[in-house]
Structures are given as C-alpha cells and as structure tokens.
C-alpha cells in the first residue's frame, strides 16, 4: 500500500494544485454501449411556469440514463463468471428483490489515492492505438518503464488508448462494433491484478480490447479484474489533457453515487497535481 507520507504529500497538492477533469460530458448523443440505456434529459419546469410571491421562479429537469452511461465505474456485482460474483457469491441469489444485496454501487468507497496514467500510444510512438489493438502486459510494463513510474498496491491505474480523439462525437465510431476497439487484453489485466491495484480505468466504451464485429461477446479482463480480484473498472474517461501535459502521477479523486444495489455509478473523476 502507499505510505502515509506519500498520501499526505499528494493530498497537500489539492489546495494549490491543478485539477484535471477526467469525465466526459453527459448529453443527448453521448456514446453508449447498446447494452445500456442512453442519456436523456427533459426540462420539466421552466422559469415562469410557476412564480413565487416575491417574483422568483425556478427550473428543473428529469434525467434518464443507465448506470454505465458515459464516464462511470463498475460495481463488483456488475460481472459474474459461471454464475458467481467476486468471492464466490451466487449471482442469482444476490439479485433477488430487484436489486443487488451485495456489492452494490453504494459499497464503492470514495477514491482519494495515488493515480497513474499509462500513455500506451506515446510509449509505442503513435498518436492513437489502431482499432482492435490488444494492449499486452509487455506493453503496459514497457509504458510504465518509459514514463519512470512504478505501479503500487492501492493505485488507480488509467490506461490511455487515444481512441476518443476524433471519435467521441460519433457514437457509432466510438462504440466501434465494426472496427473493433483498442484496450488491455487478458495478459494486461493479469499484470494489473498482480500489482494489487484498487481500480483500472480506460478511455473506451468497454475498457478492454474488442475484436472487430465481436462486440461484448467475451470480456476476459472484466472477469480477471472484477470477478477474480475485486478490482473496479472505470470506462469512458477523458485522459487527453493529462497525456498532453505528460502528467503520469497524481492525486486521484472520485466519489461514486450511493446507488443502493446498482451495478455501477456515473462518476466525475479528478486528477490533482502540484
């Protein structure tokens, strides 16, 4: 685990540091996996619809979205293997009553920890990874070494592919069903798990490598990280400014919503640096 002195040093940057917003905007048209509901917002009450005695008025809206829409984190009840959740819990029994009674999003503790960016394209000498590029354990290791960072237990490790550049505004291109999508493969997931990280994140729709035309048929990295090791996954992060500024180590701050029994939560993660 990270030392108390290291944690204190990172937290001390918050008062005078620069804050990087790692969340993508949520609006109609935000790219969403076909497995999850899209984002919708309706202005339900406009200014002037009801006036107060003092001349004031208010407006409000109603939101509709899935917990895995936009930038979000996966709860440990999100993925099962052979009918079992992390820790061997029966997945069917755990969801009785219309929501999960274990590992719901409300159980995800807020993150205030060391964050590390692994900029894989820069390490490989390219602007962005090619469609369906499977990032391997060897590539993650080489990226960490080239950046001079060491992954430690308890870290939040964010892996850049560069995929959103020129694609985030085009839902079909960003989801990448036909082209495939770059991301960590099974070996990379094992590499991360071996280091005892707290969470892994990526800038794509599903975090891990997707083959052309295969969609979400197989998600081995999710099984390794979530089911076998209890490591949360974050998806649809905006990592471009961090990468542009070559910020590879930072204080990572993220507070998932306390959505009781939910399989995930929208998030707006932050990276804070001195």
List, for residues 106-154, the tens digit of each pLDDT value: 999 999 999 999 999 999 999 999 999 999 999 999 999 999 999 999 9
- The pair of structure tokens assigned to 72 is 């979000």
Residues 56-112: tens digit of each pLDDT? 999 999 999 999 999 999 999 999 999 999 999 999 999 998 999 999 999 999 999
The domains of the chain are located at 4-27+68-273
The predicted model gives 237-260 an average pLDDT of 97
**230 alpha-carbon distance from chain centroid:** 15
Strand-pair category, 249-254 with 270-273: antiparallel
C-alpha span between 186 and 93 (Å, rounded): 28
C-alpha span between 18 and 153 (Å, rounded): 25
pLDDT band at 15 (very low <50, low <70, confident <90, very high): low
Which class in CATH covers the domain with range 4-27+68-273?
Answer: alpha beta
Longest distance between any two alpha carbons in the chain, whole Å: 67
Q: Are 166 and 127 in contact (CB under 8 A)?
A: no
pTM: 0.92
**pLDDT of 252 higher than 90:** yes
**pLDDT of 222 higher than 60:** yes
């Amino acid at each position: 685990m990270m030392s108390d002195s290291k944690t204190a040093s990172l937290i001390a940057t918050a008062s005078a540091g620069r804050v990087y917003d790692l969340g993508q905007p949520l609006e109609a048209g935000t790219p969403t996996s076909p497995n999850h509901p899209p984002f919708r917002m309706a202005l339900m009450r406009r200014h002037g619809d009801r006036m107060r005695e003092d001349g004031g008025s208010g407006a409000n809206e109603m939101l509709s979205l899935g917990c895995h829409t936009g930038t979000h984190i996966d709860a440990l009840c999100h993925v099962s293997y052979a009918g079992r959740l992390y820790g061997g819990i029966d997945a069917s029994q755990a969801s009785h009553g219309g929501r999960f009674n274990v590992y719901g999003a409300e159980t995800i503790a807020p993150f205030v920890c060391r964050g590390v960016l692994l900029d894989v394209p820069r390490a490989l000498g390219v602007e962005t990874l090619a469609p369906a590029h499977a990032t391997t354990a060897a590539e993650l290791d080489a990226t960490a070494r080239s950046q001079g960072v060491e992954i430690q237990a308890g870290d939040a490790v964010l892996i850049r592919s560069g995929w959103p550049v020129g694609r985030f505004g085009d839902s079909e291109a960003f989801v990448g069903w036909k082209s495939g999508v770059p991301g960590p493969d099974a070996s990379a997931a094992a590499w991360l798990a071996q280091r005892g990280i707290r969470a892994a994140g990526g800038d794509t729709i599903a975090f891990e490598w997707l083959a052309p035309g295969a969609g979400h048929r197989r998600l081995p990295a999710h099984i390794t990280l979530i089911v076998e090791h209890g490591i949360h996954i974050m998806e649809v992060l905006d990592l471009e400014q961090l990468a542009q500024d070559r910020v590879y180590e930072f204080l990572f701050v993220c507070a998932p919503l306390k959505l009781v029994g939910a399989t995930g939560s929208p998030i707006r993660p932050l990276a804070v640096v001195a």
